[in-house]
Amino acid sequence: MKEKLYTIPIQDAFSKDCECPVCEMYRKLEENAINYNIGPGASYMEEDIREQSDKEGFCQKHLKLLYEYNNKLGLAMMLKTHMDRTIKELEKFSKTSLPQPNSMFKKKEVQSHPITDYIAKSEEECFVCGYINQTFESYIMTIFYLYEREEEFREQFASSKGFCINHYKILFEQAPRYLNKKYLETFLNTLNQIFMENFKRVRDDLEWFIRKNDYRYKEEPWKNGRDALPRALTKVGSIWNGEE
Ligand SMILES: [Zn+2]
Ligand SMILES: [Zn+2]
């Protein structure tokens, strides 16, 4: 397989023994994104980037990862200016008129207001998610690029352990955008097959894990049941629990 710089992360992920190579790519990107945000020589010291992270803030998951990273002062500085900005915006909106009681016929309706609109919008934004997504999209494109061009990659894809349910959806819905007539049908059939086969495999491992917790099965071998639960978390929730 010819290796080009931008295909390496995809080929690396597909050659790993894991329950979803796309989760694997995402996790690597996430590590880089956290490092870029708060690691040595981090971006939060640069004014234009800071402007953007102040505006967008961070989602729950990434706040937690940023907090776990060993740079409490950096995170404190980012959150302080993000809060400054939030205060400024919300104080501006608090000067607009307050909502009135719902009318008889619109009892169920939730009224919009600049305050709640602002909060709802900022709940959707995350500077780290945004940073990851820029590259993630090109990674998904590269999967299709390799699929059309490399026989070896098609074999690797077909013999993978499938995907988590969310990345199954993404690959399924994006395939018609990127694959030509020659490969689309094969890709989708293979995708459906490897997803379902492997989703069932993990479901069966989980079943065995449950049995093994029953005293009547105490003497039976563990088979693949021992780590069934963390692998099921990957399949169902794109949660990574493995070792490096
Ligand atoms: Zn996944
Ligand atoms: Zn995020």
Give 62 Cα–ligand 2 centroid separation in angstroms.
5
Give 238 Cα–ligand 2 centroid separation in angstroms.
14
Give 115 Cα–ligand 2 centroid separation in angstroms.
22
Q: Using a CB cutoff of 5 Å, list residues around ligand 2, an ion.
A: 59, 62, 126, 128-129
**Which residues in the chain land under pLDDT 50?**
244
Number of domains in the chain: 1
**Is 145 a domain residue?**
yes
**Is 156 a domain residue?**
yes
Per the structure, the complete domain to which residue 54 belongs is given by 5-96+111-237
**Is 242 a domain residue?**
no
pLDDT of residue 244: 43
**Is 189 a domain residue?**
yes
22-49 burial: b if 16+ Cβ within 10 Å, else e: bbbbbbbbbeebbebbbbeebbbeeeeb
H and E: helices and strands count for the chain: 11, 0
101-110 burial: b if 16+ Cβ within 10 Å, else e: eeeeeeeeee
Q: Identify the residue whose tokens are 């397989």.
A: 1
Write the CB contacts of 136 (distance below 8 Å, at least 6 apart in sequence).
25, 26, 29
pLDDT of residue 135: 94
Give 195 Cα–ligand 2 centroid separation in angstroms.
26
Give 61 Cα–ligand 2 centroid separation in angstroms.
6
**Is 102 a domain residue?**
no
**Is 105 a domain residue?**
no
**Is 104 a domain residue?**
no
**Is 191 a domain residue?**
yes
Could you say which ligand is closest to the alpha carbon of residue 126? 2
Calpha distance 77→71 (Å, rounded):
10
